[in-house]
Amino acid sequence: MFNRRYIFPLVIALVLLTLPGCAKRHHDRDLRGARANFEPTLKEVAMAYTETCVGGDRESNNCAHFLSDAFIRAGYTELLDSELITERCTCGAGRVVRAQEMLKWFQSKSKRFHSGRLEAGTGYWATYQEKPGRRHVTILDANTGRFYGTADCKNWPVQWNYQW
């Protein structure tokens, strides 16, 4: 039987036991994006695609701008200070604006490469497309044929696809 005078210390002890657990979970969530080896899936990046920049601006060509926004939203904060990126959007959100620089970053991440159109059922890919004078990046889902980006330039001669 608990004596009434033990109840208050018991409640305090329970509160103290509970607090660090909550704090730790919160802390871990904050660290997820900052951890160097945190690798969201390309599907998670596709789900984070909003066809906007978090800063609200638009560029003359938004393919890399909006796609890098999705990568960073999904957790690839390394894109914010990658040495491969030399040009960024003007709103201060630090999104990538050149498709060719996204290509270099895809290549730095790549574990699987496929040139040409994708075979059905091979999942999500980070894709670079090019024709003379034009460059484009998007995410393709070879399972559904859907794309996550401003376009899927399927008839352009260069189709380079990366997975990791």
Q: Of all residues in the chain, what percent are helix, strand and coil, respectively (each to 5)?
A: 40, 20, 45
Q: Which one of 10-18, 57-65, 70-78, 113-121 is the stretch in contact with Zn ion (CB under 5 A)?
A: 57-65
- Residues 35-54 binding Zn ion (CB under 5 A) are 53
Angle, helices 63-74/99-109, rounded to nearest 10 degrees: 40
Alpha helices in the chain (DSSP H): 4-32, 42-47, 63-74, 99-109
| Angle value at C-alpha 84, between 49 and 45, nearest 5 degrees | 15
Q: Considering only residues 46, 66, 67, 95, which one is a binding residue for Zn ion as defined by CB under 5 A?
A: 95
Q: Considering only residues 82, 93, 109, 123, which one is a binding residue for Zn ion as defined by CB under 5 A?
A: 93
Q: 127 by DSSP, 3-state: which?
A: strand
Q: Is 75 exposed, middle or buried (0-12, 13-18, 19+ CB in 10 A)?
A: middle
- For residue 57, state whether it binds Zn ion (rule: CB under 5 A): yes
- For residue 55, state whether it binds Zn ion (rule: CB under 5 A): yes
Q: How far is the CB of 65 from Zn ion (least distance, A)?
A: 6
- For residue 61, state whether it binds Zn ion (rule: CB under 5 A): no
Q: How far is the CB of 98 from Zn ion (least distance, A)?
A: 13
Q: How far is the CB of 62 from Zn ion (least distance, A)?
A: 9
Nearer to Zn ion, 55 or 123 (CB): 55
Q: How far is the CB of 40 from Zn ion (least distance, A)?
A: 20
Instruction: At 30, give phi and psi (nearest 5°).
Output: -65, -35
For Zn ion, the binding residues (CB under 5 A) are 53, 55, 57, 89, 91, 93, 95
